Structure 1
Amino acid sequence: MIIGIPKETKKNEVRVALIPKHAAQLTKLGHKVFVEKGAGEGCKFSDADYEKAGAQIKDSVYDSEMIVRVKEPPLNTIRKNQTVMGYLHIEKGQNPPLLNKLLTQNATSYAYEEIRDNKEERLVNLGVEAGIVGMYEGLRLYGNILEKNNIKNKLKLLRPIQEYYSVEKIFATLSKSNIENGVNVYIFGKGRVSKGVQEILKYSSIKANVLYRNKTAFIERYLPKADIIVNAIDWYPNEPHIIKRGMLKLMKKTAVIVDISCDRNGGVETCIPTTWEEPTYSVDGITHFCVDNLPSAIPRDASMHLSQMIIPHVIKVAGNDGYSNGIMTKEGIFEYAKRKSSVSEIEKQPLVIEEIA
């Protein structure tokens, strides 16, 4: 099969789906791998690195039988009967134009976010990286807000995360920064995103409060104390909002909401996905940070991890027409079985607040 690895088209998205090491695995299996010129440069993988792996460098790869990319494909790049793999974000009805295009083109598409094990755990997940980036930028943003209000703080000394390039440099910087522990951070969620958030706080010597329960009265008790709220909970249509717009009036005007899950009008009712060019907006005086491609800020680390996770599935898709894990569309049919959830199931979750040093 001819497998194309395109250069990402979203602004400031410089990750690459497959690194040279994994492109080599495909060529050794007899597949042809076409890599768009410069696809890996943003994460320091050169065209020469891919050529050494047996790939061919092309000006365009979109006519390949199979496309393996990071983010959603531009609509005009999807070919008839093509196979497409990427973070598609169509399972909750988020992108009707993309879904319709995949269906009308009879494309076979796979969404990384829906590749799961037999316990329904996601097998392709950059949640830790998203948590690291989101929490770091949340701290930096909060520091800037304090500075504008003439409140001295050490957070304002943090540089934009893209300047560090790697997770190790971010952690090293935070360890040396001696940030005073006076920031109240509340995290919704305890999964991989939350783990990344807590890593940043650990190196910053800031205690985190992790909230596991979606219950309005419980949440409202803590909002007035919060300096930074971090949403790290998956949200699906018909589930209740975790933070409703009416709750914002309970928060300090210097507070920040960092919505890493980033579902429009989702867990955070006032969430509107943003970009790195314009990462923030304000609703009722509360600053929101809702960038929807956070791992792109640490492109090399994120690309290496993503490539490692997806390569077993890329190999199976390329070699087996019947592979179904993560399948979204095939032969004009929307194959995805929508996840079912109910308010009653959510209400059964334990009411817990945990302080983590």
Structure 2
Amino acid sequence: MRIGCPKEIKNHEYRVGLTPGAVREYVAHGHDVLVETGAGTGIGADDNAYRIAGAKIAKTAEEVFARSDMIVKVKEPQPSEWVQLREGQILYTYLHLAPDPDQTKGLIESGVTAVAYETVTDDRGGLPLLAPMSEVAGRLAIQAGAAALQKANGGRGVLLGGVPGVLPGKVSIIGGGVVGLNAAKMAVGLGADVTVIDRSISRLRQLDDLFGGRIHTRYSTVEAVEEECFSADLVIGAVLIPGAAAPKLVTREMLSGMKKGAVLVDVAIDQGGCFETSRPTTHSDPTYEVDGIIHYCVANMPGAVPVTSAHALNNATLPFGLQLADRGLQALADDPNLRNGLNVHKGRITNRAVADSLGYEMIEPKAAIAA
């Protein structure tokens, strides 16, 4: 199979779908790899590094899309990319279709087989291809929030760790999953006063044990979310419903009760955001203000640290990618965890959460592949 890796074109996206190390693995499995020139610049990998790994270099993205059987990317295809996809081709990347009807329509019309990193599962029901970027995003959320809190950036002027004689900043994290856990680690490390809100008592017990009393935990109710938002200097939105649009847990009305200059960081923005006032932003213009509250809603947060995040992502995506390259659609038929990643196939939606969010009829993945 010929594997294609185009350069990412989303605003300030420096990650790459295939590192040179990953290319070597595909080549070792007998596949041809075609990489767009400059694709690895953001991680310090020039074209020669890819040639040494066994890849051929394409001059344009158009050549990569036209000549490849499988496209490996990082972010969802942009309009200029999805029109180049075709039936019989496999797309393997993050998609986040639920809040994106235009992209969904584009993929349906292309006929491509689209496998989304964020809905591939493991034997325990986890999301192994989402986890590494959730780890990065959770840690970055605290860094970004701490910077946004600085007065010169529009924030309250609070130092999260405080100093002797001055209370530390208060961080409220909505969601105790991978993002929430990693955000809490960073916030605790800075010396902040940290509360994690989740609707799973068992998860709150795990977090309480893990942090040994260094964080507060609260069961998620409307009242709890409201109280935590009103008292916080920094609120991290870290909720996830796999494949589906994120629930709006913080309303615009709640903003009026928050401290002026407080910061909201919405890590769920790829799935539509969990704050009612969230809208996607970019690394070049990351924040905006609503009712005196600073919002940070960058949709590709890990792109800010591409060396770390690209290698972490490739570590996770490579085993499943090799399955797809080695066995094509048969890999989807045989592996239920990989099959859970199938979102679109030959013009049909194959993921329940996406279908329900956007009003499409859904066909079961196994039936779609068999057909």
TM over 0.5: yes
Match of 1:313 in 2: 320
Identity value in percent: 31
Aligned counterpart for 2:141 among listed residues 134, 148, 153: 134
Whether 1:27 aligns to 2:27 is yes
Deviation at 1:84, TM superposition (A): 0.8
C-alpha distance in structure 2 between counterparts of 1:39 and 1:117, whole Å = 29
Within 5 Å, give how 1:1-357 maps onto structure 2: 1-60=1-60, 61-63=64-66, 64-77=68-81, 78-81=84-87, 82-90=89-97, 92=98, 94-125=99-130, 126-144=133-151, 182-212=168-198, 213-235=219-241, 241-262=248-269, 266-320=273-327, 321-324=329-332, 325=338, 326-338=341-353
Could you tell me which amino acid in structure 2 is paired with residue 39 of structure 1? A
Alignment deviations for residues 178-203 of structure 1 (CA, whole Å, 9 cap, x no partner): 99752011111111111221232233
Deviation at 1:207, TM superposition (A): 2.9
**TM-score in terms of structure 2 length:** 0.79
C-alpha distance in structure 2 between counterparts of 1:259 and 1:43, whole Å = 25
Could you tell me which amino acid in structure 2 is paired with residue 298 of structure 1? V
Could you tell me which amino acid in structure 2 is paired with residue 18 of structure 1? L
Could you tell me which amino acid in structure 1 is paired with residue 173 of structure 2? I
C-alpha distance in structure 2 between counterparts of 1:307 and 1:238, whole Å = 25
C-alpha distance in structure 2 between counterparts of 1:227 and 1:2, whole Å = 50
Change in Cα spacing, 1:228 to 1:59, as seen in structure 2 (3 Å) is same
- RMSD (CA atoms): 2.6
Deviation at 1:222, TM superposition (A): 2.6
C-alpha distance in structure 1 between counterparts of 2:14 and 2:53, whole Å = 20
* 1:122 alignment partner, SS class: coil
Deviation at 1:154, TM superposition (A): 5.5
* Structure 1 gap ranges (5+): 156-173, 342-357
Match of 1:160 in 2: none
Could you tell me which amino acid in structure 2 is paired with residue 234 of structure 1? L
Check conservation: 2:148, 2:155, Cα contact below 8 A: no
C-alpha distance in structure 2 between counterparts of 1:54 and 1:30, whole Å = 11
* 1:35 alignment partner, SS class: strand
Deviation at 1:260, TM superposition (A): 0.9
C-alpha distance in structure 2 between counterparts of 1:179 and 1:278, whole Å = 35
Change in Cα spacing, 1:58 to 1:179, as seen in structure 2 (3 Å) is farther
Deviation at 1:314, TM superposition (A): 0.8
Deviation at 1:340, TM superposition (A): 11
Deviation at 1:322, TM superposition (A): 2.4
Alignment deviations for residues 232-252 of structure 1 (CA, whole Å, 9 cap, x no partner): 111576875321111111101
Number of equivalenced pairs: 317
* Structure 2 gap ranges (5+): 199-218, 333-337, 357-371
**TM-score in terms of structure 1 length:** 0.82
Change in Cα spacing, 1:297 to 1:238, as seen in structure 2 (3 Å) is closer
Alignment deviations for residues 19-73 of structure 1 (CA, whole Å, 9 cap, x no partner): 1111101111111001111111111112111111111111121211111000111
